[in-house]
Amino acid sequence: MESKQKLGLIGRNISYSFSKKYFEDKFQKLMINNYSYDIFDLHNIDEVEKLFADPKLLGFNVTIPFKEKIIDYLDELSDEAEKIGAVNCVKVENGIKKGYNTDATGFEKTLLLHIKPHHKSAMILGNGGAAKAVKYVLDKMQIPNISVARSSHEFNFKNISEETVRNHQLIIQTTPVGTYPNIDDCLDFPFGGITGLHLIIDLIYNPNYTRFIINASEKGAKTANGFYMLEQQAEKAWEIWSNQKK
């Protein structure tokens, strides 16, 4: 038991997380018993120092609100993580703490499943770590995009118009608004601008259908939640930790 390598997830108020069951099922499927996966609920990011002091720690996933704050505690970043400015996967090897961004891989795979040729311009809701990974993928795919955030002067939830929404037929919701247990919460958003040509991706996976997705689908939009992205980024994280392809 003592020889298990430790993996896990750091975040705040993350008891609802999918990751623990996902990885424990994976270990069972692969018939490996030398890894453990735990939830590390941190109040402040500096508590990660205690985690790093554990010689059995192999790595961990990172979720809200630490995807950007964790960078100061790492020795190296992958190219993607450096360009994005956010980390959601950390590996500790030979004492070196390296940050990766597997959200980008997960989001790109999700987008490629659903995108159609008429989805020529995108709107990103939110400006946290997940939004940065989304923007990185959209830029890479040469899809023009705008960001809408509470703190933004140009586009925020107070000034965004139905016309702007109509003109951006790919909308990605990256904020935690509407996540379990606050499933009735929804961004203040001009849903009147959403049409049957829209594709709405909400990165939340619990609940399956957020209030945002329900409101958008009532306008005829095609919708997707964050579950496939979550699976794909978890698989990518496993590749990094185990040094192997699926």
Length of the chain: 246
Give φ, ψ of 95 to 5 degrees: 80, -5
The Cα 172–Cα 111 span in angstroms is 10
* Interhelix angle 103-114/227-242, nearest 10 degrees: 140
**Is residue 39 within 8 Å of 20, Cβ to Cβ?**
yes
Return the bridge partners of 224, or none.
201
Catalytic residues: 67
Residues whose CB falls within 8 Å of the CB of residue 40, separated by 6 or more in sequence, listed in order: 8, 9, 10, 11, 51, 60
